Amino acid sequence: MKINHIFYLMILLIISSCGSKEVKHPEVGAWQLQYFKRIASDTVAFEIVGYVTGTDVKVWSGKNFISVGRFKEDSVYKDNYAAGTYKLNGDQYEETILYHVNKQYVGKTIKMLLGIRGDTLIQTWPVDKNGQIDKSNYTIEKYTRIK
Domains of the chain with CATH codes: 22-145 (2.40.128.20)
pLDDT per residue as tens, the chain (147 positions): 556 555 554 444 455 455 555 558 899 999 999 999 999 999 998 888 666 788 899 999 999 999 999 988 888 999 999 999 999 999 999 999 999 999 999 999 999 999 999 999 999 999 999 999 999 999 999 999 999
| CA nearest to 140, candidates 119, 122, 128 | 122
Q: What DSSP character marks residue 113?
A: E
Cα 11 from chain centre: 39
**CA-CA-CA-CA torsion sign (138, 144, 145, 146):** negative
Per-residue confidence (pLDDT) for residue 9, from 0 to 100: 46
Q: What confidence score (pLDDT) does residue 19 get?
A: 54
Q: Please report which helix (H) or strand (E) contains residue 5, including its range.
A: helix 2-17
What pTM does this model have? Answer: 0.80
Predicted confidence at residue 51, as pLDDT, reads 64
* Contacts of residue 122, Cβ cutoff 8 Å, sequence gap at least 6: 113, 114, 115, 116, 140, 141, 142, 143
Dist. CA 90–CA 130, nearest whole Å: 13
The predicted structure's pLDDT at residue 47: 83
Q: According to the model, what pLDDT value does residue 6 have?
A: 56
The CA R_g of the chain, rounded to the nearest whole Å, is 21
